[in-house]
Amino acid sequence: MFSKIFEHTIEVFVELFSNWEAWLFIALLGLVSSAPVFPSVNILSLVREFILYTWWFWAFFILFPIFRELLLYWRQQLFKASEASPEKYSVLEIQIPREMDKSPKAMAQVFGSLHMLGNSPGSLHEKYLDGEVPLWSSLEIVKFGGEIHLYIRVPKKNRHLVEVAFFSNYPDVEIADVKDYMRNLPASTAELYAREMDLWGTEMKLGREDAYPIKTFSDFESAEKQSDPIAVFLEVLGKLDDEEIACVQIIISPSAKDWAEKWEKILDKLREMKLVDAGEVKVPLPATPGKTEVVTAVERKLTKSAFNTVIRICYLAPVTLMKSGSAFARGGIVGAFNQYASPKLNSFKANSETATKIDKWSWPHVNSDSRLEYRKQRILHNLRNRENPPETFTARILSSFFYDWNLDSKYFELSIDELATVFHPPSSVVLTAPHMRRVESKKAGPPSGLPIFGEEEHLDKFRTEI
């Protein structure tokens, strides 16, 4: 906790000293400190008078950043309460047909369409007064009641556009508007314990900078063999008992169009060629095949649209099953993310700072049980409400508790190809029959040429309305 606060303090000082006003203030302090060297000049009185007449400016300079973040947090909370409330969202279940010949590449096209539906504040008024934030969606792989389900939760105003995006790329899937199953989960740890249940949860993070991609669907396909990475998740979840509940929740919101610009320095550094001595001159050393692959992969990712992403894992089970089931779910689900790892590029790893596990030997070494309870409550609250991490440091502090500082939950940027690799309808190479229900038949429109019964005036009325 204190290391996070220290890191943020350093960032504040770096930003502070990048302003000319800070250096002016330092210059004035230097004049005050030099007063004993020049006793004939009453520098101290001059500075005292200067501060007396300009104190309001320095107070504004110090307090304005704090006020700005407080205002932003307040307005964003009001915006979320009105525009991001559960009543403004639809939970759609993706029902898989018996035959699915589409690869995850089709899902990348769906995410490309979803990215264009994103909103963002376009002016200071929309950002600080309206409190507008990009609305987020949720992708979920869930096991409960003995079956595995695929859900996507989107704003109601975008529901029909999302369905169009799916049907244009997956014409055989069924999209059903269902009740939010999260309302059936305990709202608090007290209710959880009253049901004689317990939970384990954590979040995932990237092992390196966001510019480096994980393995994508093209890496799982070859001329000899085609594999579907979602099969590992289905196998792990399929081994759980009917009383156990497991959820892989992926919160996404569209990144800015220029999201890749901040990673250009990494790409430029990768493109640099080493120079070796060749007599009196230095010549560039050709890049190795491995480095060329890394540069190509990073370039490919930075040319794609991306989503700010949070991956959250949660497992709930009766206390009697928790000891054995928790170890299997924790190791199995987290381990399933290892298949996306690339030694030269990027990988997923568990964010231990958000996990419902407390190490008594780590700081602050005391009140381990209380800190564990707060972590459980936070992961359960974030899961049920599909929470996004706070945007500013002030918002993180205001949403923290003494035993649980909300400083470690962070989003990262995944391209549409990476996101489609992690979440997509299972293809035909995956044996899903034991784990999830298939749609036995698909819907079709009425055949052409059906007779229309009615009088001529009824037909004229119909033609007029058309």
Q: Dump pLDDT digits (tens) for 314-342.
A: 999 998 888 776 677 778 888 899 999 98
Residues 359 and 429 in one domain: yes
Residue 220 counted as domain residue: yes
pLDDT reported for residue 447: 54
Residues 197 and 230 in one domain: yes
Task: Give helix then strand counts, H and E, for the chain.
Answer: 15, 12
Residues 53 and 177 in one domain: no
Q: Which two tokens stand for residue 52?
A: 């007396």
Q: Which residues pair with 311 in a beta bridge?
A: 204, 250
Residues 25 and 99 in one domain: no
> In the listed set 27, 56, 83, which residue is the last one of a domain according to the structure?
83
C-alpha 193: how far from its chain's center? 29
Measured at the CA of 420, the angle between CA 442 and CA 258, to 5 degrees, comes to 130
Distance in angstroms (rounded) separating the CA atoms of residues 354 and 345: 24
Task: Please count the structural domains in the chain.
Answer: 2
Low pLDDT (below 70) residues in the chain = 1-44, 222-225, 278-279, 325-326, 361-365, 429-435, 437-466
Residues 110 and 52 in one domain: no
> In the listed set 56, 83, 110, which residue is the last one of a domain according to the structure?
83
From 248, 364, 367, select the one nearest 310 (Cα to Cα).
Answer: 248
Residues 113 and 243 in one domain: yes
pLDDT reported for residue 464: 47
Residue 38 counted as domain residue: yes
Q: Which residues pair with 307 in a beta bridge?
A: 254, 414
Residues 193 and 216 in one domain: yes
Residues 346 and 319 in one domain: yes
The structure's pTM equals 0.82
Residue 446 counted as domain residue: no
pLDDT reported for residue 466: 39
Residue 292 counted as domain residue: no
CA–CA distances in Å: residue 155 to residues 114, 143, 250, 311: 11, 23, 15, 19
**Residues present in the chain in total:** 466
pLDDT reported for residue 291: 85
Residues 163 and 231 in one domain: yes
Distance in angstroms (rounded) separating the CA atoms of residues 300 and 418: 11
Residue 434 counted as domain residue: yes
> In the listed set 83, 101, 123, which residue is the last one of a domain according to the structure?
83
Which structural domain, as residue segments, surrounds residue 198? Answer: 84-257+305-439
pLDDT reported for residue 42: 65
Residue 128 counted as domain residue: yes
pLDDT, tens only, 2-36: 555 555 565 555 555 555 555 555 665 665 555 55
Residues 160 and 234 in one domain: yes
Residue 267 counted as domain residue: no
Residues 35 and 110 in one domain: no
pLDDT reported for residue 465: 44
Residues 316 and 422 in one domain: yes
Residue 265 counted as domain residue: no
pLDDT reported for residue 178: 92
